[in-house]
Amino acid sequence: MAGKKAFITGISGQDGSYLTEFLLDKGYEVAGLVRRNALAELGNIEKFKEEVRIYFGDLQFPESIVLALYDFKPDEIYNLASLSSPLSSFSDKFASIMVTGVGALHVFERAKQIVPDAKIYQASTSEMFGAPKQVPQNEDTPLSPANPYAAAKEYAHRMAVIARQDKNQPQFIACGILFNHESPRRGLNFVTRKISAAVACIKNGRKEGIPLNEMGEPIVKNGKLKLGDLNAKRDWGYAPDYIEAMYKIMQQKIADDFVVATGEVHTVEDFAKEAFEVVDLNYNDYVETDPHFVPPIQTGPLHGDASKAKKVLGWEPKTKFSDLVRIMVHADLAKFS
Ligand code: NAP
């Protein structure tokens, strides 16, 4: 609807950037919180920075949220900021809870004081299910996080539900329990993007400027790509499809939880095989496993049941797994030419 104002934390990330484009198209005025870096780079929103209002800040410093909310007065708040890598969260436990957990609570509490009628979207995650006994997982599946990131997300999720139920001042805080969603804008520390970028570097015979992995090594070294557990099972969708679900979740009259997933499960090996096939290569010739990329506690199988989203929101994923892989590989072939 024209004239609405949306404030997005984590606007420069994968989802924040697609959501920004989506909301601008709908006539929204969009603002976002960005962590200031030395180069003043805006990540994925660099190309439409003129169309959005940027507030520099950090979820760990609630004053920056306060200033932005007082100044912008949004109708909708999308809390997407987090330290979003489950594997890295094992070595960054305190930052995980402070940003992903307590940071979300700062957003909820400051919004309650400054813009009490604003609707809030909380970016919950399928990682909260841990290693679930129930397959597929839906909104009623018990939460049992298996990494610090997921534990912090569970805290934020529980605080959202509590704020929603508070009889004194109930807040509209809806939670999208999103399963993995990928795109050419996915961070290079995520396995799907690491694969698509590696395929591109190998196919293009790239020798310099190869992106680095979590260990600070080029993702392709001596012609090989190192991955963790090839049998890990995930339900992978395409990020722009999931942005539509987020928006629909926020247009409901009553705040609720929604699982957003494709309902299709693939292994990391499936993804690698499919990605190398896009460029007519055999993944067996290039992929090696390395225990450093296996988390100390395994999560999964993550397999979503999005029946509620289909019934209530009329949402269904549009992009098939093979198309997702193809989109990512083609984008990286151009990027790492
Ligand atoms: P992303 O690309 O990693 O983006 C996260 C954003 O949060 C980045 O813009 C990052 O900014 C920002 N951020 C990190 N720490 C911050 C801090 N202290 N203060 C302010 N901003 C901070 O993640 P995404 O894939 O877009 O995901 C969006 C949200 O959905 C995240 O909360 C993620 O955990 C959740 N989620 C994602 C998936 C998925 O599969 N993608 C699934 C379920 C849930 P910098 O660039 O400065 O680091």
Query: Which residue in the list 125, 192, 262, 299 is annotated as catalytic?
Result: 125
Instruction: Assess whether 229 and 271 both reside in one domain.
Output: yes
Query: Is 222 within a domain?
Result: yes
Task: Indicate if 83 and 18 belong to the same structural domain.
Answer: yes
**What's at 122, amino acid-wise?**
Q
- Nearest ligand 1 atom to the CA of 149 is 34
Co-location of 249 and 273 in the same domain: no
DSSP state of 113: H
Looking at the domain assignment, is residue 129 inside a domain?
yes
* CATH number of the domain to which 165 belongs: 3.40.50.720
Among 76, 127, 244, 274, the active-site one is: 127
- Do 141 and 202 belong to one domain? no
125 flagged as catalytic: yes
Contacts of 118 (CB under 8 A, 6+ apart): 7, 74, 75, 76, 77, 111, 172
| Burial tier of 299 (Cβ tally within 10 Å: 0-12, 13-18, 19+) | buried
- Spatial neighbors of 259 by CB under 8 A, at least 6 apart, are 126, 137, 138, 139, 177, 179, 304, 305, 306, 308, 309
Is the pTM value of this prediction over 0.85?
yes
Q: Residue 40: is its pLDDT beyond 70?
A: no
297 within domain boundaries: yes
In this predicted structure, what is the pLDDT of residue 48? 86
Point out which residues pair with 174 in neighbouring strands: 121
For residues 152 and 202, state if they share a domain: no
Exactly one of 121, 149, 238, 247 is catalytic; name it: 149
Q: Let me know whether 39 and 166 are in one domain.
A: yes
Nearest residue (by CA) to ligand 1, atom 29, is 80
Q: Are residues 17 and 114 in the same domain?
A: yes
Q: Identify the CATH number of the domain in which residue 206 sits.
A: 3.90.25.10
Domain that holds residue 270: 191-233+265-302+319-335
Same domain, 26 and 158: yes
The CA 34 to ligand 1 mean position distance, Å, reads 11
What's the number of domains the chain is made of? Answer: 2
pLDDT digits (tens, 9 = 90+) for 175-195: 999 999 999 999 999 999 999
Residue 138 counted as domain residue: yes
Q: Same domain for 93 and 206?
A: no
Residue 288 within any structural domain of the chain? yes
Q: Are residues 203 and 289 in the same domain?
A: yes
To which residue do tokens 């012609």 refer? 223
Same domain, 244 and 278: no
Q: What are phi and psi of 183, to 5 degrees?
A: 180, 175
Residue 308 lies in a domain: no
**Segment holding 110, helix H or strand E:** helix 103-114
pLDDT value, residue 42? 85
Q: Is 307 among the domain residues?
A: no
Residues with CB under 6 A from ligand 1: 9-10, 12-16, 33, 35, 43, 58-60, 80-84, 99, 123, 125, 178, 180-181, 187
Atom of ligand 1 nearest to the CA of 85: 3
Amino acid at 91: S
Please indicate, yes or no, if residue 311 is contained in any of the structural domains: no
Give pLDDT tens digits for 57-81. 999 999 999 999 999 999 999 999 9
Q: How far is CA 205 from CA 161, 191, 193, 208, 331, in A?
A: 50, 21, 18, 9, 16
Which pLDDT band, with edges at 50, 70 and 90, does 215 fall under? Answer: confident
Give residue 162 CA to ligand 1 midpoint distance, Å. Answer: 23
Kindly state whether residues 146 and 80 are assigned to the same domain: yes
Query: In angstroms, rounded to a whole number, what is the distance separating the alpha carbons of residues 230 and 236?
Result: 15
Look at 11 and 2; give whichever has higher pLDDT: 11
